[in-house]
Amino acid sequence: MDNPAFENSTESDGSTKANANTTLDVPSTPTNAARVRKLTPKINVIHYQKSQTDLLPTLHEIPTATENEQEQRPLGHNNGINPEHAGTSAFIQKGIASAASFRKLVRNMSRDVMPSIDNYRLSYQRQTSARPSLHELCNPEAAVVNEEVLLDDLNDTPTVEGPKKIEAVEEAVVEKVKFGWIEGVLIRNMMSIWGVMLFLRLSWVVAQAGIAETLVIIAISTFITLVTALSMSAISTNGEIGGGGTYFVMSRVLGPELGGSIGIIFTIANAMDCALNIVGFAQTVLDMMKEYGGYIIFDGALNDIRVVGTLTTIFTCAVCGLGPYYETKMKNIMIVIMMVSLTNFVVGSIRGPENELEEAKGFIGYSVDTLNENWKSAYFVTDGQMQNFISVFSVYFPASIGILAGANVSGDLKDPNKAIPKGTILAIIICSISYAGVAIICAATVVRAATGNVEDLHNGTNLNCTINECNYGLYYDYQAMTLVSAFAPLNYVGCFAATLSSALSEFVSCPALLEVIAADKLYPYWMVGVLGKGYGPSKTPYRAYVFTFLLSMAFVLIAELDMIALLISNFFLATFALINFSTFHISLVKPIGWRPTFKYYNTWLSLLTGVMSIGCMMLISLPTAMITIAIVLFFYLVVLYRSPEVNWGSSTQAQTYRAALTSIQQLVHIEEHVKNYRPQILVLTGLPNTRPALVDFAYLICKNNSLMICGNVVEEKLTYEARLKLQQKAYRYLRFTNIKGFCTVADNSDLQTGTPAMLGLAGIGKVKPNILMMGYKNDWTTCDRNSLDQYVMTIHTGFEMQVAVAILRLKEGLDCTDIVADFDDLIPQPPIKKVKNKKNKSKDTSIVAETSTIPTIEPSTECTAVHIEIRPVNITKKDKKTKNKKPEEKITLRDVAGNPLPKSVLNSIVLFQRKQKKDTIDVWWLSDDGGLTLLLPVIINSRSNWSETKLRIFCTASGVHELEREQIGMAMLLSKFRIDYSDLVIITDVDEPPKSKTKKWFDGLIRPLLQTGINEGLQLTDGELEAFQYKTDRYLRLRELLLDHSSDSNLVFMTLPVTRKGAFSAPLYMAWLEALTANMPPFVLIRGNQTSVLTFYS
């Protein structure tokens, strides 16, 4: 293999210029800095003398703004204020320059930029400043790139027009409504927690579990939600979070697979919670209709709930469709109603029953006896099912799930990092206390069962359900809070406010989640992406609203509150479990970027809560838990199969690095064992796309087994950009062909010096190359002597560094540089989109477009294949001619002129990708090199494309008398190695002289290389040929045997002759290799490092 310069790159030389000392005093930016700074920076700079060769002044050349300054150097400004006279601070004072233009001024005076938040913000939009690269800083003559500011020039901001432009920007910012922690999180969470369970099921929970176990249920729920809130707060304060709340946080921590699946689960759970509150609202409406007039719609039961629920769902969708502003304002009104309603309940409990009817229904006022009676549990049959602690817990738990309502609208919060922890934790504390208080009041004032008949009260039998039918009390009356309240209708209004506000919170969360999930493009467009399309100036996702409406309606039509509560508990417990697990995982891994400002969390407490959540799922309903896990697993596998091109810096990535580092460190201290030997290959490919067959052959050995590194030796010294370009191009090819390997570049060196550098530096610890693989140098007879010597010395260098050496030869050659067009030119480029900025100038977003559709390459495995298939990740058009939902776009390899390649050439390129026919792999194991000559064919034979081929083993014997003994010994050795082979051939006549025909062929090969004297350009001498005549005759005899036995094989392996430094010349060594491999099938010369790689011990 020759050593061409794969890429040419020049590096411009430049000298740095000495600058004078500079004193720069800039006050630190206040934490609450406004968009337009009106403070005057204090900048004191020494006078400068401008160089004639400088186009821009440097930082030490900024003029001072003192009154004693006498120098005047006009800059050409005619607006009455000379910047050089007034100084930099006067720019902002006079209104000539905003903060953005001030930063541009400093950038023009020095390529260094001041620390700015804009330099650390990830955005596809233009930034007010751009950090220069090291190349720009170190090379004065280098062009400055990415220098974009919001204001093009100081002349764009005159004194009069500047404030107008600034006001316009401020007005545009005000249009986006943002909420503080009280409106956005606290009130939203409280109204979600104060939902249907508070008014319709808490009294029933007290009746079943008793006040003692009820407080335990509330405590368990509070513990799970509070620890989950602490975990959520820790993650949400570890950097800025965008819209999507819980989904955004979890997907960025756990990665797209788990984050995307739990985002879908959480969306369904929010829709179910919305339906739960709407059903509760409908049930309350029906109870009120029966209480005040006895009205019914159809049957007074489920069908009536469905009718009222449908109308309520339409109303909820309409209100949420108006936007978060109106939804939040409505919640602010409803919380006032809720507070009045709860106050009404407390006042009523203190006042006691107003009449005998209330007392007959079980409301007797505060009583120690009643409290003692309701202290213990008394589980009862409800709806044909005997209740227990777990079933009651499953009904109550949805009361606690509203803790994520504020986090779900994180995109509408002014400061989500502070608002989410403060508002969520405070809401949990307030609501848990209120739930416990209401439970105690109900237990102390209302009996478990009562007839509701005044006559029974007079007879003293209103509490005896054995002789009378009981329809009231905590067991039977879901409106017990209404009975206790001072003004009953106000309690109904409070229930309406609680259920509607919770329904609004959950309903508005679903479209927001779907929009963010669709924007991340984790799932196919038809599955989720179609729902995220926005309409109108505000890009409202109306499709997501319609989908949320339909999903909520599906659960509303169930019309059974307890059944919906059972389903919703599992979905939210799964969400809570993953939130806690994500906090546990990232705090356990502790990546460098894990620095949450919220410190009140515990790693192991998060793990305990996650386990508790999973346990509660199983206890509540094992079938429902299995369905929930199956749904999570399905969406997980969808994302895993699609492998979206996202990089969020998740904790799983940090764990992967940590695990890899730990494993490598452990391997360093483990002594190598022959049973764990793995062929780790450094293959000299240059750019991988120039020698695809060599890359495929090396990967055939290393696939799912060991390390493969593609080495590229470049003679020129490369700049950082040129090196990065080479590596990116190499990895792009490996990725497209689905080859898992690494690439390395050795520049400013030749083949002889670059190869040992890569062998010594590539890899780490025990994960480093132990095989050097090369392509055969086909032009060895015509190339210059220096190139040939380097090639042979590279082989010798591999032996000196105690690594195995393998050489692959194909008849057609390996280098496709001059045959196939550049691989990047064959890949269809995505269309470049143009967008308009505020100045109506088209802006190139090709970088975004290129990352949105990334193809992968899969070579065809058919023997007649002539195409390489490319499958873009994001495809929106469906192929109507095939049943496959992912249409594949095919491209044809072409030559440098753009013409299709001949079929024979294409088949040679994809030789090691094709399914092989039922033929043989011949192994000529001539010398004991440790067994590598035998091991590599065994590995290749185990691959699916080569599994139908048979191994044939060829060995040599000293003579006929040694034939039988050698055959028995070799057969026993192969049997102990557990190697399946079809035939074992012992060659006995290897020492016989070659035929005259073979000698004549060899003479014709080396004749052009023979010289009669010793001078420059010497190739071979007659003396050298005579000295090594025995070796030459042996290799020629081996050639005859190869032609007789292996000329029709699929692949041939043979032990590589060892080079001896200074013993013979490079042309003679290459002539021997030519004699062995010429006109043969794909041929591999391999020599191990004389260390055993095979063993028959267990």
Question: 3-state SS of 359-373?
Answer: HHCCECCCCHHHHHH
Name residue 549's amino acid.
F
For the cut 80, the answer to whether the pLDDT of residue 308 exceeds it is yes
Q: State residue 365's pLDDT score.
A: 87
Q: How confident is the model at residue 741 (pLDDT cuts 50, 70, 90)?
A: very high
Residue 285, C-beta contacts closer than 8 angstroms, at least 6 positions apart: 308, 496
Q: State residue 502's pLDDT score.
A: 80
For the chain, how far is it from start to end, CA to CA, in angstroms?
40
Distance CA 986, CA 954 (A): 6
Residue 762 has, within 13 A of its CA and on its CB side, a CA count of: 28
For the cut 80, the answer to whether the pLDDT of residue 699 exceeds it is yes
Average pLDDT of the segment spanning 416-436: 89
Query: CA nearest 874: which of 831, 916, 838, 823?
Result: 831
Query: What average pLDDT does the structure give for the chain?
Result: 77
Residue 445, C-beta contacts closer than 8 angstroms, at least 6 positions apart: 349, 352, 363, 364, 365, 366, 367, 370, 484
Q: With H, G, I as helix, E, B as strand and everything else as coil, classify residue 742.
A: strand
- Phi and psi torsions of 255, nearest 5°: 100, 170
For the cut 50, the answer to whether the pLDDT of residue 737 exceeds it is yes
Q: What six digits make up the tokens of 821?
A: 């067009």
Q: State residue 86's pLDDT score.
A: 45
Distance CA 665, CA 70 (A): 67
Average pLDDT of the segment spanning 913-931: 89
Range from 246-255, 290-299, 442-451 that averages highest in pLDDT: 442-451
Hey, how many other C-beta atoms are within 10 angstroms of the C-beta on 115? Answer: 10
Instruction: Classify residue 708 by its DSSP letter.
Output: E
Average pLDDT of the segment spanning 603-620: 92
Q: In terms of residues, how long is the chain?
A: 1098
Q: State residue 160's pLDDT score.
A: 40
Range from 313-322, 816-825, 838-847, 922-931 that averages highest in pLDDT: 922-931
For the cut 60, the answer to whether the pLDDT of residue 695 exceeds it is yes
- Phi and psi torsions of 313, nearest 5°: -65, -40
Give residue 761's Cα distance to chain centre. Answer: 30
For the cut 90, the answer to whether the pLDDT of residue 795 exceeds it is yes
Distance CA 605, CA 594 (A): 18
For the cut 60, the answer to whether the pLDDT of residue 14 exceeds it is no
Block residue for tokens 């794969």: 6
Backbone region of residue 1023 per phi and psi (left: phi > 0; alpha: psi in -120 to 50; beta: other values):
alpha
Q: State residue 210's pLDDT score.
A: 92
Distances (CA, A) of 593 to 25, 236, 846, 949: 31, 13, 30, 52
Buried (b) or exposed (e) across 535-558, using 16+ Cβ within 10 A? eeeeebbebbbebbbebbbebbeb
Q: State residue 594's pLDDT score.
A: 86
Buried (b) or exposed (e) across 129-149, using 16+ Cβ within 10 A? bbbbbeebeebeeeeeeeeeb
Distance CA 935, CA 1095 (A): 11
For the cut 60, the answer to whether the pLDDT of residue 175 exceeds it is no
Say if pTM beats, i.e. exceeds, 0.85. no
Distances (CA, A) of 1052 to 113, 576, 774, 957: 62, 60, 16, 20
CB 428 within 8 A of CB 191: no
Backbone region of residue 61 per phi and psi (left: phi > 0; alpha: psi in -120 to 50; beta: other values):
alpha
Enumerate the β-bridge partners of residue 872: 855
Q: What six digits make up the tokens of 375?
A: 């202290």
For the cut 50, the answer to whether the pLDDT of residue 24 exceeds it is no
Average pLDDT of the segment spanning 575-583: 89
Block residue for tokens 């055993």: 1092
Distance CA 571, CA 565 (A): 10
State the greatest distance between any 2 C-alpha atoms of the chain, in Å, as a whole number. 138
Distances (CA, A) of 329 to 183, 372, 528, 648: 9, 43, 30, 35
Query: CA nearest 528: which of 840, 860, 265, 307?
Result: 265
pLDDT tens-place string over residues 479-488: 888 889 988 8
pLDDT tens-place string over residues 981-1020: 899 988 888 888 999 999 999 998 888 887 644 444 557 7
For the cut 50, the answer to whether the pLDDT of residue 459 exceeds it is yes
pLDDT tens-place string over residues 373-407: 999 998 988 877 888 999 899 888 888 888 887 77
